[in-house]
Amino acid sequence: MKKLPFDIDQFNPGIFRRNIDSFKEVFGYPDLSNNLPRKLSSYNLSHNYKLWHAMFFVCLVVITSLIFITRAFTLQVLKGEKYETLSKSNNTRYAQIQAERGVIYSREGEVLVRNKPAFSIELNTMYCRQLDICESTLYEVEKIQNKSLPEAYLDLKDRKQVIVIEKGLTKEEVLPIESKLASFPGLVISVQPLRDYRFPESFAHVLGYVGLDETNLQPRYVGKAGIEESYDDRLRGIPGERVIQVDSSGESYKVIAEQNAFPGKNIHTYLNLDLQNKAYDLIKEKVLEGKATAGVVVAQDPQTGGVIALVSYPTFDSNKLSYGMTAAEMDALLKAGNYPFFNRAVSAVYPPGSTFKMVTASAALMEGVVTERTSVFDPGYIQVGSYIFRNWKAGGHGDVNLVRALQVSNDTYFYTVGGGHGNINGLGIQKLASWANKFGYGHLTGIDIKGELPGNIPDGTARAWYLGDTYITAIGQGDTLSTPLQVNNVTSYFANGGKLYVPRIVESIDGVNLPKANLIAEDLTDTKSYDLVREGMAAVAAPGGTAYPLFDFPLKHNGTTLAAKTGTSEYTASDGTDKTHAWLTVFGPYNSSNYDASIALTVFLEGGGAGSDDATPIARELMDLWFK
């Protein structure tokens, strides 16, 4: 029999019997329980049993530790290089490939807006946030570029996933800093096509500009104004995507997959390059000379409603806005005054002055208030009780009919047919407002750029209304407000045979012509009344009319005649002084036997004096250019 390594008498028999099977299994000894005496020493053996249990646990820990140490040695030493490579490539990054925006062309096919290659510095915050070094990364970029980046810190605060730190960089600007930036997690230099506006100021309001979409987590450029905004979904194209494996610092490891971007669609407009630039130069000169606070030129093809020119000054630089202006540059632009981002052609409303008399004349003829033979005597004023409403010419024009009243812009005649006087009842404000609405006043024209205002046509219901209010409404003053585009659209109506079109800037997209412009109205008056108003407008541009700078136009242009209407509207300036806006609206050629005019054009000068003296000379130069 084997000798036990300890004295059996030390064990408590009860404990031993309960664990005898385990004892045999561990030590390999035969069952001795039957040979134990019935009574052993009273000594308690539990202390020794606990000691044995502790020794067993220590052995288990040692064995487990050896297993882990062996496994770690295998991973880090024997297969370390392999797993290091795998750890560096186990992150997948999705990089958007920007699509090139479509090119925008003029009516004649000249490029107005194109794209040029450029680079941007971007920070993917997913990587720098893991290491909590986003702010320090921006700080290092500031040192490299030697400039502050306040907008980037704001984007970081807004928790944007990708921050465009700088954009519009050239290849020459990128090369010296590329290697320095490569050491920072998440920093990348990406190719970003940049918008190139060939005429960044003269076309600014009509074409607009592009900028970062602030609502999108990924950097995406969208149209911000003008055609760029209205047709953004066509111009933008479809971005592509590149799937890249990157290491833990954000460095590219390899391209897994790539989906090419699809460029945006090209757009052809009705805009005429030469007319637009000439109009811009003339309006800018007038404002810089201090002869007006702002100015607008709108021109349309009367046969289609297509916008040939749309100029609003003061303006902005589309390239600078698209590249990204600093806060200081933007502040300086805004402090320059007179709202350079305000498109006065469609978003500003002014009293239309005597250009509104074409509507009053049409309404009076159609409502039977007057005929072509009706004559009104003008002593220079109308007196109603103690109130006197004066004609612009002291002493008046004597007897005037409708054609003569339009030719000399006689106020007394239109006071009479608008509100009534003597034996003429007049239209009254309700009928006058109704006819103005038919011609599009008080409503949006529907032009294909945003920001248009409808203007205002009073109908006598908004406040206490008096006869004198109707008088001044009939001559386009008082509460009557319109945009320069609305005035020009009415002129187009009288140029094309009686069609009031929805104005449109874009003619075709990717070579496919857009459907013909919708009609707002057609044949509002009978032919006789229509032709009578046209005759009066032609008389305005002929000797004896108010548009004297146009008198010799037929002599200079092989007999081509024009039809026009001047306007001078009064307003009270912010300093309390009374001032005037200058209007001239014109179409040509005028021919009494057909309606084939090729252009309708309106010049407006904010605080710019008189229609005859100030707006008409600008219109003359533009019509000279058009018919040269």
List the one residue out of 623, 555, 615 whose CA is nearest residue 589.
623
Confidence of residue 283 (pLDDT cuts 50, 70, 90): very high
The answer as to whether 615 is a domain residue is no
CA dist list (Å): 230 to 3, 143, 205: 102, 40, 12
| Predicted confidence band of residue 445 (pLDDT cuts 50, 70, 90) | very high
- pLDDT > 90? residue 80: no
Closest CA to 88 of 255, 250, 242: 250
**Does residue 100 share a domain with residue 52?**
no
d(CA 619, CA 16): 121
Question: Which residues share a beta bridge with 564?
Answer: 586
Confidence band for 326, pLDDT divided at 50, 70 and 90? confident
Confidence label for 51 from pLDDT (cuts 50, 70 and 90): low
Residues 149 and 122 sit within 8 Å (Cβ to Cβ): no
Q: What is the pTM of this model?
A: 0.80
Q: Which residue has the higher pLDDT, 84 or 502?
A: 502
> How large is the C-alpha radius of gyration of the chain?
42
Confidence of residue 370 (pLDDT cuts 50, 70, 90): very high
Is residue 171 scored above 80 in pLDDT?
no
More confident position, 527 or 39? 527
**pLDDT score of 54:** 63
pLDDT above 60: residue 32: no
Q: Residues 390, 495: one domain? A: yes
Residue 64 shares a structural domain with residue 102? no
Residue 396: pLDDT above 60?
yes
Is the sign of the CA dihedral 227, 233, 235, 240 positive or negative? positive
Assess whether pLDDT exceeds 50 at residue 2. no
Tell me the CATH number at 520: 3.40.710.10
Answer with the residue of higher pLDDT: 116 or 437: 437
Strands (E), 468-531: 499-501, 506-509, 512-513, 519-522
Domain boundary among 239, 269, 299: 269
Residue 13 has pLDDT above 90, yes or no: no
| 133-142, 484-493, 547-556: range with lowest mean pLDDT | 133-142
Could you tell me the CATH number of the domain that includes residue 109?
3.90.1310.10
Instruction: Return the half-sphere exposure (C-beta side, CA atoms, 13 A cut-off) of residue 295.
Output: 30
Indicate the Cα dihedral angle 59, 62, 68, 69, nearest 10°.
Answer: -150
- How many domains is the chain built from? 3
Higher-scoring residue by pLDDT: 277, 573: 277
* Residue 253 reports pLDDT greater than 80: no
pLDDT band at 71 (very low <50, low <70, confident <90, very high): low
Judge if 98 and 161 occupy the same domain: yes
Residues 6+ apart with CB under 8 A from 263: 99, 100, 101, 102, 237
* Cα–Cα dist 320/340, whole Å: 14
Q: What is the mean pLDDT of residues 167-173?
A: 77
In a domain, 556, yes or no: yes
CA distance 220 to 168: 14
Specify burial of residue 276 (Cβ count, 10 A radius: 0-12, 13-18, 19+). Answer: buried
Buried-exposed string 383-418: b where 16+ CB fall within 10 A, e elsewhere: eeeeeebebbeeebbeebbbbbbbbbbbbbbbbbbb
Query: What are the backbone dihedrals phi and psi of residue 5, each rounded to the nearest 5 degrees, phi first?
Result: -80, 0
pLDDT given at position 95: 67
Please give the structure tokens belonging to residue 406.
Answer: 């339009």
Let me know if residue 623 belongs to a domain: no
**Confidence at 331, pLDDT banded by 50, 70, 90:** confident
Query: Whole-angstrom Cα distance, residue 513 to residue 248?
Result: 52
Q: Which domain holds residue 196?
A: 91-269
For residues 150 and 74, which has the higher predicted lDDT (pLDDT)?
A: 150
CA separation, residue 481 to residues 75, 364, 569, 589 (Å): 81, 20, 10, 28
Q: Quick one: which of 271, 277, 299 has its CA closest to 484?
A: 299
The verdict on 249 and 172 lying in the same domain is yes
First to last CA, the chain: 133
Domain membership of residue 606 (yes or no) is no
pLDDT of residue 490: 99
| 611 within some domain | no
Same domain, 175 and 61: no
| Cβ partners under 8 Å of residue 177, min gap 6 | 144, 145
Span 478-498, average pLDDT: 98
Q: Which residue has the higher pLDDT, 168 or 517?
A: 517
Domain boundary among 269, 295, 312: 269
Distances from the Cα of 285 to the Cαs of 106, 159, 290, 314, in angstroms?
24, 46, 9, 11
Which whole number is the average pLDDT over 517-543? 97
Question: CA-to-CA distance for 458 and 447, rounded, in angstroms?
Answer: 23
Is there a single domain that holds both residue 261 and residue 146? yes
**Are both 492 and 586 inside the same structural domain?**
yes
Q: Is residue 192 pLDDT above 90, yes or no?
A: no
Q: What is the average per-residue pLDDT within 76-88?
A: 48
Question: Across the chain, what does the average pLDDT equal?
Answer: 86
Residue pair 315/344 in contact (Cβ under 8 Å)? The answer is no
Q: What are phi and psi of 311, to 5 degrees?
A: -120, 135
Element (H, E) at 300: strand 294-300
The answer to whether residues 261 and 97 touch, using CB atoms and an 8 Å cutoff, is yes
510 within some domain: yes
Query: Do residues 355 and 417 share a domain?
Result: yes
Same domain, 391 and 537: yes
Is position 279 within any domain? no
Which percentage of the chain shows pLDDT scores above 90? 61
Quote the CA–CA distance of 411 and 331 in Å, as a whole number. 45
For the four alpha carbons of 571, 575, 577 and 582, in that order, the dihedral sign comes to: negative
Give the per-residue pLDDT at 248.
58
Identify the weakest region by mean pLDDT among 5-9, 111-115, 192-196, 334-338: 5-9
| 40 vs 615 pLDDT, higher one | 615
Q: Which amino acid is at 27?
A: F
Average pLDDT over residues 564-593: 95
Residues 26 and 146 in one domain: no
481 found inside a domain: yes
For the cut 50, the answer to whether the pLDDT of residue 159 exceeds it is: yes
Query: Could you read off the pLDDT of 194-223 as tens digits, one per residue?
Result: 899 999 999 999 999 998 787 765 667 899
Mean pLDDT of 310-329: 89
Show which of 249, 269, 289 is a domain's final residue.
269
Compute the distance between CA of residue 241 and CA of residue 260 in angstroms, rounded to an integer: 7
Is the confidence at residue 236, as pLDDT, over 70? yes
Q: Is a pLDDT exceeding 90 seen at residue 499?
A: yes
Note whether 105 and 159 are same-domain residues: yes
Helix axes 171-181, 134-145, angle to 10 degrees: 140
pLDDT at 340 over 90: yes
